[in-house]
Amino acid sequence: MIEKRKRRARNPDATRETILVAARTILAKDGPEGLSLSKVASLAGVNRGTAYQHFATRENLIADTLQSVSDIIFRAVFGDPETIGERDVEHVDMVAVPERLANFAMENPELGRIWLLQVLSAPDPTADPFWREYAGSIGRFAQTDLAEPNIDVEVFSVITLTANFLWPVWARSHSQSSDERKALSHRFAQEVVRLCMYGTLKSAKLPHVAAQLESAAPPPPPPQLRVVC
C-alpha cells in the first residue's frame, strides 16, 4: 500500500520572504532592469502563479524588493525599527553607527549601491525608511547644541551615504581577504567620525573661509527631516 504524501502546510509569509531573497540576489547582480517575476520565481523555486499571488506586477516586485533592502540596512545600522522611537539622538553611539554602516556596505556592495542610486533618484527619498531615519537623525542632531550651526542636512546625508557605498569599490580592489576588508571598513568609519568631529581645516587660521561659509548658510532642513518617524 502506497502511503499518501502529507501535504506541506502553506506559509505565505515564508514564501514571500523566499521570493524576496531571490529578488535581492538578482537585484544585486543585474539591477532593477534585470528583475522579472519569472526569473525570480525560478530562482526561488516557486511557480510563476505563486509569485504573482504575492506581487501582482513587476513594478510591485521591484518596489517591495527595494523596501526590503532598506529594512535590512535599517536593522543592520539602527536596530529594530519598532523601538527606534525610543532613541535619544543626543546619546547615540557616534562611533558604532558609522562602523555598522561601513561594515554593511562592505559586505553588501552591489546591493547597497543599487539601493543608494534608487533612493537618490526617487522623487521623494523620505518614502524610504532607512533614508528617512538616517537623514532625519542628522536633522534632529543638527538642532542640538552638540552640532555646528548651519549644517545642510540633505547634502551631508548624500555625501556620507555615497561615500559609504562607494568605499567598497576601492577596498575590494585593494584587499584579498575578509579580515583586510574589515580593517578597511574600520579605517573608513574612523575617518568619517574624525571628519565630523574635527573637519580638515583649522578654522582659526582661515577666517576668510569661515566668513564665506557663514554668509552662505544653507536654508533650514525641510520639516520631514525634523520629525521622528
pLDDT in tens, 2-46: 344 344 447 889 999 999 999 999 999 999 999 999 999 999 999
Rg (CA), the chain: 21
Q: Is 11 helix (H, G, I), strand (E, B) or coil?
A: coil
Alpha-carbon separation of residue 222 from 3, 87, 124 (angstroms): 66, 21, 12
Rounded to whole angstroms, the Cα distance separating 47 from 56 reads 14
The model's pLDDT over 91-109, given as tens digits with 9 standing for 90+, comes to 778 899 999 999 999 999 9
Rounded to whole angstroms, the Cα distance separating 191 from 75 reads 23
The model's pLDDT over 54-97, given as tens digits with 9 standing for 90+, comes to 999 999 999 999 999 999 999 999 998 887 766 677 677 889 99
